[in-house]
């Protein structure tokens, strides 16, 4: 007769085995010139981190609009989730796209305060407030980009002008050197002519003596 496992038996996870992943509920929707990423899990932890990072990476690469992360349904989260949000922030910064986190619950707000990430992330109380903020940020980023491009163009033009001035100076130096060398050649020819003239005079004197 086969022995039955006791009902209170639990599998023990080996230390080198990864945490099991959990399916994460979330939604992505465009709204008012931005894209909203809604987290629909009340408790987010390390088991959700792989899927969350993958979803946020896709969000950063497939959408070009500013991003709002809606935290209103989240009651608790851990450092692995914060790491995923930091990844999203870094990806968006590389594309000059603003990010806002919206409607953090008291538990989530406490985590951000304790980790001091509230000084890094922009936390808003509503979607409308976040949309207004993102519009202003997008305008500032566009203005900054235009100014940087104009500054680069000016530096290129200034470099071309300096390069032209250097070339003109080199050309003038070359002309001066050429004139001096040509003068030295002419002077050398004159000396050579004088030597030949003296030789002719000596030959004439010898003929007269004969």
Give the HSE-up count for residue 157: Cα atoms under 13 Å, Cβ half-sphere. Answer: 6
Report whether pLDDT(33) > 60. yes
Q: 60-72 burial, b for 16+ CB within 10 Å, e for fewer?
A: beebebbbbbbbe
Using an 8 Å Cβ cutoff, are 71 and 108 in contact?
A: yes
Select from 1.20.140.10, 3.30.420.40, 1.10.10.60, 3.30.750.24 the CATH code of 26-142. 3.30.750.24
Beta strands in the chain (DSSP E): 26-31, 34-39, 43-44, 67-70, 76-77, 99-102, 123-124
Instruction: Tell the residue number behind the tokens 């099991």, with chain if given.
Output: 20
Query: What are 131's two structure tokens?
Result: 């949309």
End-to-end CA distance of the chain: 153
Q: What is the pLDDT of residue 17?
A: 47
Asked whether the predicted pLDDT for residue 25 surpasses 90, the reply is yes
Domains of the chain, by residue range, sit at: 26-142
Q: List all residues 6 or more positions away from 134 whose beta carbon is below 8 Å from its beta carbon.
A: 33, 34, 66, 68, 98, 100
Which sign, positive or negative, has the C-alpha torsion 178, 180, 184, 190? positive
**Higher per-residue pLDDT: 202 or 5:** 202
Summarize pLDDT for 83-122 with one digit per residue, the tens. 999 999 999 999 989 999 999 999 999 999 999 999 999 9
């Amino acid at each position: 007769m086969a022995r039955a496992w006791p009902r209170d038996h639990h599998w023990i996870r080996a230390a080198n085995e990864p945490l099991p992943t959990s399916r994460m509920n979330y939604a992505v929707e465009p709204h008012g010139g931005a894209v909203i990423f809604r987290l629909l899990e009340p408790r987010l932890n390390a088991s959700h981190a792989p899927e969350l990072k993958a979803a946020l990476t896709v969000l950063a690469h497939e959408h070009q609009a500013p991003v709002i992360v809606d935290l209103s349904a989240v009651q608790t989260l851990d450092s692995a989730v914060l790491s995923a949000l930091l990844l999203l922030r870094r990806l968006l910064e590389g594309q000059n796209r603003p990010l806002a986190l919206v409607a953090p619950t008291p538990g989530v707000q406490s985590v951000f305060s304790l980790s001091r990430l509230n000084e890094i992330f922009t936390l808003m109380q509503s979607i409308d407030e976040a949309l207004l903020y993102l519009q202003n940020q997008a305008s500032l980023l566009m203005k900054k980009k235009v100014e940087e491009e104009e500054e680069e163009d000016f530096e290129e033009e200034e470099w071309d002008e300096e390069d032209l001035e250097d070339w003109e100076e080199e050309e003038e130096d070359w002309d001066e050197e050429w004139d001096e060398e040509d003068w030295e050649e002419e002077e050398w020819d004159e000396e050579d002519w004088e030597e030949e003239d003296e030789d002719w005079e000596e030959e004439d004197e010898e003929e007269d003596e004969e």
